[in-house]
Amino acid sequence: MSIAVDGIEFDEGKRQGISMNVAVVGYGYWGPNLARNFSSLEGVSLRTVCECNPHLLKKAQKAYPLASMTGDFDEILKDGSIDAVCIATPALTHYDLSLRALRAGKHVLVEKPMAMSSAQCDMMAREADKRGLVVMVDHPFAYCGAVRKLAEFSSKGELGNLYYFDSVRINLGIMQSDVNVLWDLAVHDLSILFQLGGERPVSVSASGVSHIENRPIDTVYLTLHYDSSFIAHVHVSWLAPIKIRHTTVAGDCKMAIYNDTESVEKLKIYDSGVDMKSASREDMNKLLVEYRAGDIYVPRLDSSEPLALLTADFYHAVCRSEKPLTGAEDGARVVRILEAADRSIQRNGERIAL
């Protein structure tokens, strides 16, 4: 079987006998998903699961009786049979664990956010480059069928010149205790935004509030400003009564809505917009605005699990020594925005230049 992302084909496990041994570090919320996907990927073996919580480690052992279990990260570093390490631990540890893995000669797939500062991200990228290793960030939405299709529409110019990007990602929980909601949720919206390509933001402003005493900020409104009239806005919250995952990308030709909570019609392309017409020959300045609300097109999407494509892309990048779709550059770019947004929140919403 081969999987295509963006025109690239992944011939899983058929790399002339190349196989990859993987260790998954962290078996809390996300680690089990990584373990499951790696364990079903041809050419890949889940060699070790590392987790300090014994209850979780026992669960991992039950699910993967042939893998070895450990609570000691150093064991993984020392194990010469392990080619790649997947870091699914709290965000604050991403930098340290990744760097140690890279220095031990392991390829690294690290959960989002890549690290807690852009300086850390750059350091990780340099370390990987120096050693010819892959460092990849787990931005799963970049591999989601709807986002791939949306990026395709956008890059083909079907939406026209983009007006704005607006994304809402709210739900009740998970209230992280180590990072604020930006670093937990907005990272997804930013990684989706960057998949669309196009202009680079010049500044960031954000407002955020913590409603629960001694807890990180739970609700943020984030705006990215551009040289053109394009604007991007992200609303994230852990304190919403319902789950919303709603991203609008509007252009002067067409507009798209990606609603991830829909089971079937996740992506809709609206042939809607504004047409300008001169009111008359004489008065060219007087333009009439005409609204066009046309047909709607709901494309069939690839329904593969994004993480299946992502882990395959990681494997592929390791085999071919190529850049994955969501490499260090992508991870650093997102972290740079988050850093600036944090600063803007501290300064009452001041615009922070990028």
Binding interface with a copy of itself (CB under 8 A): 39-40, 62, 65-66, 163-164, 166, 168, 172-173, 175, 177, 205, 207, 209-215, 219, 221, 223, 225, 229, 231, 233, 235, 237, 239-243, 248, 250, 252, 255-257, 261, 263-265, 268, 270-274, 276, 285, 287, 289, 291, 293-300, 348-351
Choice between 103 and 286, CB closer to a copy of itself: 286
Choice between 33 and 117, CB closer to a copy of itself: 33
Choice between 80 and 214, CB closer to a copy of itself: 214
Choice between 257 and 328, CB closer to a copy of itself: 257
Asked if 183 contacts 174 with a C-beta cutoff of 8 angstroms, the reply is: no
CA distance 302 to 197: 21
Choice between 65 and 132, CB closer to a copy of itself: 65
Choice between 119 and 168, CB closer to a copy of itself: 168
Tell me the β-bridge partners of 75: none
Question: Rounded to the nearest 10 degrees, what angle do helices 145-155 and 187-195 cross at?
Answer: 40
Nearest-CA neighbor of 185 among 168, 197, 165, 200?
Answer: 168
Tokens 């990927």 correspond to: 41
CA distance 175 to 91: 14
Spacing of C-alpha 325 from chain mean position? 10
CA distance 116 to 107: 20
Nearest distance from C-beta of residue 31 to a copy of itself, angstroms: 17
Choice between 119 and 231, CB closer to a copy of itself: 231
Q: Does residue 19 come out as left (phi exceeding 0), alpha (psi in the -120 to 50 range) or beta?
A: beta
Residue type, 137: V
Choice between 121 and 196, CB closer to a copy of itself: 196
The kind and range of the H/E element at 246 are: strand 239-251
Nearest distance from C-beta of residue 315 to a copy of itself, angstroms: 16
Asked if 37 contacts 305 with a C-beta cutoff of 8 angstroms, the reply is: yes
Nearest distance from C-beta of residue 125 to a copy of itself, angstroms: 32
Residue type, 38: F
Nearest distance from C-beta of residue 276 to a copy of itself, angstroms: 7
Going by their DSSP bridges, the two strands 2-5 and 352-353 should be labelled as: unpaired
Nearest distance from C-beta of residue 223 to a copy of itself, angstroms: 5
Please provide residue 19's backbone torsions phi and psi, each rounded to the nearest 5 degrees: -130, 160
Nearest distance from C-beta of residue 92 to a copy of itself, angstroms: 17
Choice between 198 and 349, CB closer to a copy of itself: 349
Asked if 206 contacts 175 with a C-beta cutoff of 8 angstroms, the reply is: no
Nearest distance from C-beta of residue 244 to a copy of itself, angstroms: 9
CA distance 171 to 185: 10
| Torsion over CA: 239, 240, 241, 243 (sign) | negative
How many CB atoms neighbour CB 132 within 10 A? 9
Choice between 48 and 326, CB closer to a copy of itself: 48
DSSP class of residue 345? H
